[in-house]
Amino acid sequence: MKQVLNNILKIGLPLIFGAAILWWMYRGFDWATLQGALFEEMNWTWMLLSFPFGIMAQVFRGMRWQQVLRPMGERPRLHTCVNAIFLSYASSLVVPRVGEVLRCGVLKRYDGTGFTRGVGTVVTERVIDMAIIAVLSLVVVIAQMPVFFSFMRETGMSLTALTSRFTPAGWAVTISCLLLIIAMGIWLVRGARVFSRTRDLVQDLFSGLMSIRNVDNVWLFLFYSLAIWVCYFLHFYLTFFCFAATEGLPLNVAIVAFVVGTFAVIVPTPNGAGPWHFAVKTVLVLFGVNGNEAAIFALLVHSIQTLLVAALGVYAVVALGMTRPMHNS
């Protein structure tokens, strides 16, 4: 009974939280303007041009995962790694973070890869990704300080006046997201303590974490790691050219929105739904985009890119269904 309740909370709470933010953001929204933006105003050419970069980000992630597994004697096939990544992201649309475990299970089933070793490499990936985002965030903060202060001088807006634009509900959403991130960190630490009771599991996890030291080509690993995030950014940036309100914005605005949106996705809701919309809309409004147009941008871009993730997941299910398990051949 307790396990059932935990599962319900694990699935239900993120959905409720994300839905609550979306309801708050789009309450009283004129949906006719959204329909017009989608079918009449949006430039679909740029949206379609962004798709290959979204796909390649996941392909590069699969290639990097295969490389990291090799030093441990694991030899999964590349197409299995890539399809496992596709499926992991799609499954996380339903249950946040479940994909991290699911993709390790896919490799174990089809290519006989050790499950806990796979989990260890996933942890390694997350550490590397967070390091890249931390460096990028630091660069963005330093680079945007002059722009930020110039913006306040030109508009006569003080920091107090800027923060006052947040409604009480806006502050509540921001604080709730931060608390959820902290809670997830505590949960991960507690989970690690439970795992540590099993010596073999810890050894496999540690082996996965340390696998990066023995990769056959460090420069290739770094290339994959950077290519993943360059593709993610281009997948997002090209959508700016889909809308009249954002096509003229400078590159630095897209970078700021991308970094802030990346941190918002850490909040455990399906594909960051809710927190991501709130974060991106806030950045766009800060840089002068009309609030309604910023909300339309966030909703359409997130919805379409989420459909792409779901489509890749469906493709992975079909592809894996036609894949013969290597250890049974």
Report the C-alpha gap between 112 and 102 in whole angstroms.
14
Q: Would you give the DSSP letter of residue 157?
A: -
Token pair belonging to 56 = 């390649």
28: left (phi over 0), alpha (psi -120 to 50) or beta: left
**What residue segments make up the domains of the chain, in order of their start?**
48-322
* Mean predicted confidence (pLDDT) in 217-240: 94
Residue 162: its H or E element: helix 159-163
Is pTM beyond 0.95? Reply is: no
The model's pLDDT over 150-159, given as tens digits with 9 standing for 90+, comes to 544 544 444 5
* Mean predicted confidence (pLDDT) in 271-282: 81
The model's pLDDT over 252-261, given as tens digits with 9 standing for 90+, comes to 889 989 988 8
